[in-house]
Amino acid sequence: MKTNAIIAVGISALVLAACSDVRRTPGKVYMPDMAYSRAIETYSDARDLQAEGINYTALPVEGTVSRTDDAIYLMVKDTVGLHAASATWVNPVPHLDSVQAKEADRLYMINCAICHGAKMDGNGPLFKDGSGPFTAKPANLVSDAKITALSAGTLFEVQTYGKNVMGSYASQLSNKQRWMIATYIKSKQSGETAAPAASDSTATKPAAAAAAPAKESSAKK
Ligand code: HEC
């Protein structure tokens, strides 16, 4: 009986409490920062929040990639005219200092040399004169006149979108890294365009080019 009475009093107290407007008199707020948070406009520079003692910076976090930089590269692979249009793309890194050249060489060796070869002759370990696991012949980047004629923009475009069986390197290399590799390949080409004319003429004739390495590899065995 006693417990029943206590419960009855408890319930009526709750019911009565519900009648008063609790929300208008919230009583004590023990976390005022949370209850009344300051509204701050994202990325607004109107107030110097640091000076006001508010630990908030309007700058994006370090390393954030600006998507607008990529805007011209958002076309779908094999878009008609893309390969040709890339001839006029302006190279933002037209010269490499010695540190950048070393870095471009490192990136080339990691990403490209496995197919195109450390000497850029299109005969990397994956192709190995046709005996490697990758059966498509990678382009000879330094003595094929068709390739040496390509602008840095097109070398960049090929890395960005891929070419036929060659995949895109846009997810492995940043824009700048791809341009650096393009500039690096151009510098190797100009250093080696003095290569014998004979190698140029075999490279431009695909049948002869394919036959020659096959003979060499059988001779080696
Ligand atoms: C998995 C092997 C492979 C890798 C790795 C590779 N390529 Fe290629 N690449 C090829 C093949 C195969 C072709 C010939 C594609 C064709 O014309 O059909 C080619 C073609 C090219 C061409 C000639 C494009 C043209 O217009 O004819 C360039 C330039 C090139 N690659 C640059 C690169 C660079 C730079 C890298 C490194 C970022 C790279 N490739 C990585 C296989 C590869």
Separation between Cα atoms, residue 173 and residue 142, nearest integer Å: 22
Q: Is residue 135 part of a domain?
A: yes
pTM score, two decimals?
A: 0.64
Q: Is the CB of 164 under 6 A from ligand 1?
A: yes
Segments in the chain below pLDDT 70 = 1-2, 8-23, 26, 40-47, 57-58, 65-75, 77-78, 192-221
- State the amino acid at position 48 in one-letter form: D
Q: Is residue 51 part of a domain?
A: no
Total domains, the chain: 1
- Ligand 1 site-directed mutation target among 154, 161, 166, 168, most atoms within 8 Å of CB: 166
Domain with 98, as residue range(s), is: 68-212
pLDDT of amino acid 184: 97
Q: Is residue 220 part of a domain?
A: no
Q: Is the CB of 112 under 6 A from ligand 1?
A: yes
Q: Is residue 58 part of a domain?
A: no
Q: Is residue 200 part of a domain?
A: yes
Q: Is the CB of 170 under 6 A from ligand 1?
A: no
CATH number where 150 lies: 1.10.760.10
Q: Is residue 170 part of a domain?
A: yes
pLDDT of amino acid 192: 46
Q: Is residue 126 part of a domain?
A: yes
**What atom in ligand 1 is closest to the CA of residue 127?**
2
Q: Quick one: tokens of 158?
A: 């090929």
Separation between Cα atoms, residue 141 and residue 217, nearest integer Å: 20
Q: Is residue 198 part of a domain?
A: yes
Q: Is the CB of 165 under 6 A from ligand 1?
A: yes
Separation between Cα atoms, residue 173 and residue 154, nearest integer Å: 16
Residue closest by Cα to atom 11 of ligand 1: 138
**Computed from CA positions of residues 105, 111, 112, 117, in that sequence, does the dihedral angle turn out positive or negative?**
positive
pLDDT of amino acid 174: 87
Separation between Cα atoms, residue 155 and residue 181, nearest integer Å: 8
pLDDT of amino acid 59: 73
